[in-house]
Amino acid sequence: MSNDQLNKMIELNKMEIFLKSFTAKWPIYREKIIGKSEQDDNEYNTLIRMMEGEWNKTMPGETFFLKNTSYHLEENYFIPYTKNVSIIKNLRYMPLILHSHQFIEVNYVVKSGESYYIDKHQKLPLENGDVILSPPNFLHTFEANDSNSIIIDMIIRVTTFDTAFLHLLNNNNYLATMFTNALYGSSHGYVLWRTGDNLQLKGQVLRMYDEWNSAEKYSDKMLEIIVTEFFITLMRYYENQVSFSAPYSNNSDERFRILLNYMYSHYQNASLPQMSMTCSYSERQIIRLLKKHTGKSFSALLQDIRMKKALSLLKNPEIPISEIANQVGYSNARYFNRIFKQVFTFTPEEFREKYLERIQDPTFYHIH
């Protein structure tokens, strides 16, 4: 890591300058943890109103960066519609608000300073090279009241993870299990790897950060490749050096992943009898495993996979909707349109129009 890179990352951005000033004025918010119980709702709302009031005084005319947020953060708030991953610097001097999110969050500690990972039960001191994976719906926050602390956040979409990173699910290791649980089951705690000064992992994170901030062609695809490379490197060197904050379970996960991978590879014409024959499980076993891990039937899960693929294809305005219907396994475009609207409450054409309007709106994505 060059001194120029380090200095650029250490430099406070406008949100951090605001937060440092705000928490200096009200130092209680550098210590008090909000969000441990439902009784904290009023205090949370009071804090957000105070912050927005101060922001409007110091940044008149600029949108408050936490406007319309809550304890549970949606992926579209952080990830532009055109991408599956975003790479951002964790905000220092942020009040200690326990929150959960829709997405998968992976944090890499470039420089720990005096920083901590906090959940409802403990406050964990962080070290250089720590990698922390927080699954969706898990309450946590960071304490970083040190200008020398640098934590990089990888924000990864859940809604498209299984299409963008399917190959990461096709492995018999706990990381594949965790991702599968995050997508279709439940995860109850964070995962921690202490990687120290592993220059390969650090270099990959810095490449992600540079790629995110570049305007190069195909930067989104390049970013997905580097993220995949990071996870593979993590498993290669640290598969057996991991800490789980909650008991880790792998019951039937390998069989479920076999079935899931089959459905993603054959979603156009998958059928229960063919899947039974190919995967060597009875139809009853398949139904039971899918229901156990997703809560859904074979046909409902297949429809979900087809709809996710359709969403991805609809982002390309050059592909006719009738062709998209055929590509995702529907020979009748009218039937495809009806199913799509039942699932998403709008038609494929309406989604495409909204998507194209959204990516052309310069004010949509304001956390950067």
Mean pLDDT of all residues in 154-165: 80
Please name each of the domains of the chain with its CATH number: 3-244 (2.60.120.280), 253-359 (1.10.10.60)
Q: What is the pLDDT of residues 270-297, one digit of tens each?
A: 999 999 999 999 999 999 988 887 888 9
Q: What is the pLDDT of residue 367?
A: 44
Q: Are 221 and 233 in contact (CB under 8 A)?
A: no
What mean pLDDT is predicted for residues 171-199? 78
Nearest to 219 by CA among 24, 81, 76, 82: 82
Residue 170 scores a pLDDT above 70: no
Across 203-207, 237-241, 304-308, which has the greatest mean pLDDT?
Answer: 203-207
User: Quick check: 76 and 119 in contact, CB under 8 A?
Assistant: no
For residue 114, the SS3 value is: coil
Examine the pLDDT at 358 and tell me if it is beyond 90: no
Q: By mean pLDDT, which of 45-59, 121-135, 218-232, 239-253 is the weakest? A: 239-253
- Check whether 361 has a pLDDT greater than 70: no
Pairing mode of beta strands 150-156, 141-144: unpaired
Say which residues have a Cβ less than 8 Å from residue 318's Cβ, sequence separation at least 6.
none
Listed in sequence order, the residues at least 6 apart from 115 whose beta carbon sits closer than 8 Å to its beta carbon are 109, 125, 126, 142, 143, 144, 146, 149, 151
Q: Mean pLDDT score of the chain, rounded to an integer?
A: 86
| 3-class DSSP assignment, residue 74 | coil
Tens digit of each residue's pLDDT (9 = 90 or more) over 95-148:
999 999 888 999 999 999 889 999 988 999 999 999 999 988 899 999 999 999
The pLDDT of residue 364: 44
Residue 115 has what pLDDT? 94
Does position 197 have pLDDT exceeding 70, yes or no? yes
DSSP string, 119-170: -SS-EEEP-TTEEEEE-TT--BEEEE--TT-EEEEEEE-STTHHHHSHHHHS
DSSP string for residues in 44-64: HHHHHHHHHHHHHHHSTTSPP
Residue with the two structure tokens 């709702």 = 41
Dump pLDDT digits (tens) for 28-54. Answer: 999 999 987 766 778 888 999 999 999
Q: Of the given ranges (13-17, 250-254, 314-318), which has the lowest mean pLDDT?
A: 250-254
